[in-house]
Amino acid sequence: MDTILKAFLANLGAHIGGSASDAAVECVRIATNVPSLAGCLPKDASPQTTKVEMASAPTQTITVVTPDPALPCQTVRIYFSQDVHELTRFWRSAEVRQENGRWIAEAPLMEPTQPLFAYANVVYATPEAYRKIANPPGTANSDTYFFSSRETWATPAQLKAAAAEANDKPERMICADSAAWGDWYQLNWGHPDLWSVFTR
């Protein structure tokens, strides 16, 4: 298993064009949905303990994320989309607030007659033992890792039953603050000739 896993991580790192820490994070993300890769995760890092729920408030739809209380959660990132096309779906991040061990975000709803999709990334601190694993020169371990939840959604009928109202609208601005990057991510940022910026 160790030989197979090392080869897998090496190929994965080359594929995503990132560092060893990028490959490790990607491995965790993939392993949450691929049972045969579960062996590359610590036994106490079960993604099934992260709960993502859609709930309704007056005229609003919210997403509630409950991380595993046994793990050192640093933050939760919650994303929404109303794009019904999976291959081109653009995920928008939302502001979150923490209440009694739960993380809550209000959905930016443009059209209540369209389904609303959501998922979350739960960011945990990497156990100290995993930060000391030897790496090839020029690479480093990551201080954090995350689990991506399974996707959840609310149908138009559910939105109607919750009396959810549109609270957002299209705008021409693509990105108001490029310094923060927000709903974009960067690859090869240490090599100016290979800079790449993508949306989720």
Domain boundaries, the chain: 44-161
pLDDT for residue 54: 66
pLDDT for residue 179: 58
Task: Select 44-161's CATH number: 2.40.50.140, 2.60.40.720, 2.60.40.10, 3.90.1300.10.
Answer: 2.60.40.10
pLDDT for residue 115: 92
Q: Running DSSP on this structure, what letter comes out for residue 188?
A: S
Q: How far apart are alpha carbons 169 and 81 in whole angstroms?
A: 13
pLDDT for residue 32: 37
**C-alpha radius of gyration, the chain, whole number:** 19
Beta strand segments in the chain, E: 51-57, 60-66, 73-81, 92-94, 96-99, 102-106, 116-125, 144-148, 152-154, 184-187, 196-199
> pLDDT in tens for each of the 200 residues of the chain?
444 444 444 444 444 444 444 444 444 443 333 333 333 333 444 444 456 666 666 667 778 888 888 888 888 989 899 999 988 888 888 889 998 888 888 888 898 899 999 988 899 988 888 888 887 877 777 888 888 888 888 889 888 888 888 888 887 877 666 556 777 778 888 888 888 887 76
pLDDT for residue 146: 85
Residue 84: both structure tokens together: 């019904």
pLDDT for residue 36: 34
Q: Running DSSP on this structure, what letter comes out for residue 135?
A: -
Alpha helices by DSSP H, listed for 32-69, are none
pLDDT for residue 114: 92
Q: How far apart are alpha carbons 195 and 193 in whole angstroms?
A: 6
pLDDT for residue 172: 81
Q: What would the pLDDT profile of 157-188 be if each residue is shown by its tens digit? A: 888 888 888 888 887 877 666 556 777 778 88
Residue 167 buriedness (CB in 10 A; 0-12 / 13-18 / 19+): middle
Please name the residue that has the structure tokens 């919210």: 62
Using a cut of 0.75, tell me whether the model's pTM lies above it.
no
Nearest to 167 by CA among 56, 55, 63, 61: 61
pLDDT for residue 13: 45
Q: How far apart are alpha carbons 158 and 54 in whole angstroms?
A: 10
Q: What is the dihedral of CA 67, 96, 40, 190, to 10 degrees?
A: -160
Q: How far apart are alpha carbons 91 and 88 in whole angstroms?
A: 10
Nearest to 69 by CA among 146, 139, 124: 124
